[in-house]
Chains A and B, each alone.
Chain A
Amino acid sequence: MNSLNSSHIRMSLLCYSATALLLLQQVPWLLVLVGLAAGWWRLRVMQGLATLPKPRWVKLSLVLFIALVLWLARSFELFDKLVSLVMLGYSLKYIELHKRRDVEMFSLTGLFLVAFSLVFSSQPLAALLAAIVAFLHLLLLLSLDVKISFNWAKRLGLWLLAIAPLAIALFIVAPRLAPLWKMPTPSSAQTGLSDVVRPGDISQLIRSDKLVFRAEFSRAPEPDELYWRAMVLDEFDGEQWTRSQIAQQKQAPDSSSAINQYQLLLEPASQAWLATLNPSQVRGGGANYVADGSWQREGESFPRQILNFSQLEPPTSSAVPPAYLHFLTRLPLNITPKVSELSEYLGSGLSPRAPDYPKQVMTRVQQWFLSQQFSYTLSPPAYPGLLGVERFLLDQQSGFCVHYAQSVVILARLQGIPARMVTGFLGGEWEQQDSLLAVRNYDAHAWMEYWDGQGWVRLDPTAWIAPDRVENNLQQSQATAQQWQSISGWGQKIWYTQGFNQLRLWLAQADYWWAKWVLNFDHKRQLSLFSQLLAWLPGSSLLMLTAGMMLLGLLATVLLMAKPWQWRLPNKQVVSLKWQCWLLARRGVVRARGESFNHFLKRVEQQAPQRASALEQAINNYNLKRYQP
């Protein structure tokens, strides 16, 4: 039983290829090739077509491969390096795949690699693929004892399904621990906006339909409220916008009455920013408030995460330190003369002392923009630096939201009005009518805020030029749908056509439930489920409930394994026959194995004549039932 044959190797090669496919984006592809070559060569050895090299060569090549993998993975994050090294061990296990133990080790490593792949991706499809690969590894283990066939695969599948109740019960009751220690995170978690914005950056983002977060509302919000405010960019050096140190200081959030509740279901991301409606207040922790009015994640959060927020009544007035307001009027010194002239023209005749001076300036700016031939485009020309600002405003007059926001902030600051650029997302796609909103990368947007003396006013200059864009998202709005089609890949083009709309929404729905109930089944959710169940089953403690659920799962599994629905209920005649036999056996007349009833009856007539008639009756009844329908 200890020796392997080539069918085991073939099976393991299948497992290897499936695992490699699962991890292809994380490990160097050269490594996968090496593993496939090693597996193929091992198969040849098993078939007697090749020979094993000397152990010395094996050791040498092992060292070389480790060096190669470390070199290939040199730019990887620590976690990816780790996965690559495990994958290397998995690949090179082929060199010494001799015994049962080696295959066991191989399968176990494979199962670990499947678990690693789940760190990278937690989409339902990825989970399904991972389940298939895990199944293949279990099949490989099974093939050590029996010759694998379709029947056996089916049997293993049935076992795995039969244990589902137990596994689910375990999943529900198993305590969710906090992370015990910090783990290295994989590199492929970059989503969306970055801390530094150059004009044109966001137009790269709109090519991606990657989900950023979902929001679930308790009450449908107004469409024009859906400005997801992520980052405030208040420092401009002439080239790029960044976040100043002052703005990032932690602060106690403003308090006012809540008008709506919403829940953010965040996709994995390594950045700290959170896109929230403004103003909002976190419920139950998990985020910090900073001075510029935005929310930041608490610490690093790699997996999908749920945060609860209350949307607040906009404050009528707020207090901002004058020094910060002054900071928000600062501009690089070398503003081009033409832009200065434009600013002077826009501000002429207005008194900076007037209480509604900022508002008047902004109205003038709006009027000027509307009077010009501005257009909105998804593929704007490059407008580098301050000269670019001038070219956008006075020459080309065609751009993207960042260009509009940036230029209006510069014009406001030139007038001495504190202003800042805000990036985030606008709108989203409703996945459930008025309650579930999906926000994707292409919803990224930029706008500005200015200080009107009492508080911050949100102003979206894009809305002046392309009001359609603000109301709908990119592929729906008339102005941009055509453009978006032309810059997106063919896969996206097909995926976003009308025909696939229903399927797309349906898949999104599945993904949402998946995320909410499987991926985010955390301690809180567990407790809330328990308390719901407790309310339903009065008078039982949490411990009893846990034990009960595990017992229920176990029971269901036992039932599925024993398949009582396949049991045949014995009919009356058989029972009475058995009863007669049992009575006779107590008197010492035992029916022998394979003895016919007629023969037994003859024996009974001799040995226990007083019971013979009853037995005969039972036999006759049975025969009647059995053979005369």
Chain B
Amino acid sequence: MKFTLLEAFKQWKGVRSAAWLAKRVPSSSSLRLTRKNLFILPTRFGWGFLIALVVMLMMGSNYQNNLIIALGLWLLALWLVCLVLCHQNMSGNIVSLLQRPEGQCDKPLRLLLNIVNNKQPHALAAEIKNWPCKQAYQQLDGQLALDLEVKQRGRQLLPRISLSSIFPLGLFRCWTVADFNCELLAYPAPLAGFACPSQEWVEAHDVERAASDSQLQSEFSGLKAYRSGERKSLLAWKQFAAGRGLQTKAFTGNPSIDLHLSDRRHSGLNYEQTLSVLAFWLRQLAQQQQSFSLQVGAKQLASGSGQQQLKAGLRLLAEAPSSDE
């Protein structure tokens, strides 16, 4: 009972503060830091410093030592002025999101923030509350990168990013919580070691014809070592017969052999794993300049190749509805 009450209170408080923040710092693609959206409070060290100053002043008055009192008061004035300096450091900057974070699930997703001002804020840090792997660092040219760790594939609304600085002496923390109204997109993590869940359109036809067809449309560019999982139709049998090992023929241009990938299930794999296997193969195929088409759920991606196709495919995979829907 107690716990649920506490949790209910916390939830209520969270909703209230979110509503308050939404009014205070509305979501927008770029944010100009002003008095209205910057918050400032002493850090833990700032409070400790203040307490130490009180102790120092008490020591000074107990020894009737004006020098200690002067030192304490000087540091107190410094403490007060750091409040202004810390705010000044942040104030007046314009922060905007450079690109939508997009990437693979198990790798850190990079979020790039652009900061524009005539003077750079010092020691700026960015983090997202309750988000794992917050590693903020400043880059050159006023850009701040934030690497996010994403566990689950799909489209997620980016929470508020807190930008903060404790710049002079670490006594105060001046921060804002920017809402760039942006979604991040996480592709499923690739899963290797499974066969390609594909149907080669050409499988039913004559392999030789397909090969000659492909040679007509794309240029032969040489041989390379065979890696498991590559199409057998591209194997250079002559060279194999001559004892030079398994090699594949590589072609440049637009290979005509189309692979049709789909999210039909492998035996023994669940839906998410199937998507991961697909993600692996999309990368493989794109690397080999192989053209492919993809069907995920009801959505269809037309045939194509290259990085553009890969990205489109991965996006399709990321946005696939989960299996139980």
Q: A residues bordering B, Cβ < 8 Å?
A: 1, 100-101, 104, 108, 111-112, 114-115, 118-119, 122, 127, 130, 134, 138, 141-142, 144-146, 159-160, 162-163, 166-167, 170-171, 174, 176-183, 302-303, 305, 518-522, 557, 561
Contact = CB atoms under 8 A, between A and B. Distances in A.
A183 B55 CA distance: 13
Interface in B38-82: 45, 48-49, 52, 56-78, 80-81
A180 B69 contact: no
Interface stretch (B163-171, B190-198, B279-287): B163-171
B78 A100 contact: no
A522 B64 contact: yes
- Residue in A122, A127, A145 with the greatest tally of chain B CB atoms within 10 Å: A145
A206 to B, nearest CB: 30
Contacts, number: 124
A134 B53 CA distance: 13
B85 interface: yes
A180 B68 CA distance: 15
Given A167-B70, A302-B63, A519-B67, 17 more contacts: A1-B123, A1-B125, A112-B52, A115-B68, A115-B71, A118-B65, A122-B65, A144-B170, A145-B167, A160-B74, A160-B78, A163-B81, A171-B66, A183-B59, A303-B63, A303-B65, A519-B66
B77 A166 contact: yes
A183 B63 contact: yes
Interface of B: 45, 48-49, 52, 56-78, 80-81, 84-85, 122-123, 125, 136-137, 166-170
Nearest to B61: A177
Contacts of B168: 142, 145, 159
A115 B170 contact: no
Contacts of A118: 65, 67-68, 71
Nearest to A165: B77
Contact of B68 (A100, A119, A166): A119
A170 B73 contact: yes
A519 B125 CA distance: 44
Contact of B61 (A115, A176, A305, A518): A176
10 contacts: A114-B71, A119-B59, A141-B169, A145-B166, A145-B168, A159-B81, A159-B168, A163-B80, A167-B76, A302-B64
Contacts of A174: 57, 69, 73
A166 B74 CA distance: 8
A146 B120 CA distance: 12
Nearest to B82: A159
Given A118-B71, A159-B78, A145 B170 contact: yes
A141 B80 contact: no
A108 B49 contact: yes
Contacts of B125: 1
B67 A518 contact: yes
A119 B84 contact: no
Nearest to B59: A115
Contact of B66 (A104, A108, A521): A521
B123 A518 contact: no
Contacts of A171: 66, 69-70, 73
A174 B67 CA distance: 13
A102 to B, nearest CB: 11
Contacts of A163: 74, 77-78, 80-81
Contacts of A145: 122-123, 166-170
Nearest to B58: A180
A118 B77 CA distance: 19
A275 B59 CA distance: 29
Contacts of B57: 174
A130 B66 CA distance: 14
A531 B78 CA distance: 29
Contacts of A181: 62
Contacts of B167: 145-146
Contacts of A557: 77, 81
B76 A170 contact: yes
Given A145-B123, A179-B62, A303-B65, A166 B49 contact: no
Contacts of B123: 1, 145-146
A111 B78 CA distance: 13
Given A145-B123, A179-B63, A181-B62, A159 B71 contact: no
A142 to B, nearest CB: 6
A54 to B, nearest CB: 29
A167 B52 contact: no
A134 B56 CA distance: 13
B308 to A, nearest CB: 33
A167 B63 contact: no
B75 A111 contact: yes
A521 B84 CA distance: 30
Given A171-B70, A179-B61, A303-B63, A108 B52 contact: yes
B78 A115 contact: no
A174 B81 CA distance: 18
Nearest to B46: A104
A177 B59 CA distance: 11
Contacts of A179: 61-64
A589 B62 CA distance: 67
Given A146-B123, A183-B62, A130 B78 contact: no
Contact of B72 (A101, A115, A166, A518): A115
A374 to B, nearest CB: 47
Contacts of B65: 118-119, 122, 303, 519
**Nearest 8 pairs between A and B by C-beta?**
A145-B123, A167-B77, A163-B77, A118-B67, A170-B73, A166-B77, A167-B74, A177-B61
Given A176-B61, A180-B62, A181-B62, A146 B122 contact: yes
A269 to B, nearest CB: 14
Given A104-B170, A108-B49, A518 B77 contact: no
B67 A561 contact: no
Contacts of B76: 167, 170
Contacts of B49: 108
Nearest to B85: A159
A108 B48 contact: yes
Contacts of A162: 81
Contacts of A176: 61, 69
A166 B52 CA distance: 20
A303 B70 CA distance: 15
A183 B62 CA distance: 7
Contacts of A183: 59, 62-63
Contacts of A522: 64, 66
B61 A180 contact: yes
Nearest to A103: B170
A139 B84 CA distance: 18
A312 to B, nearest CB: 29
A506 B73 CA distance: 29
A134 B70 CA distance: 12
A518 B75 contact: no
Contacts of B137: 1
Nearest to B52: A108
Nearest to A557: B81
A115 B70 CA distance: 10
A118 B45 CA distance: 24
A138 B169 contact: yes
Contacts of B69: 171, 174, 176
Contacts of B77: 163, 166-167, 170, 557
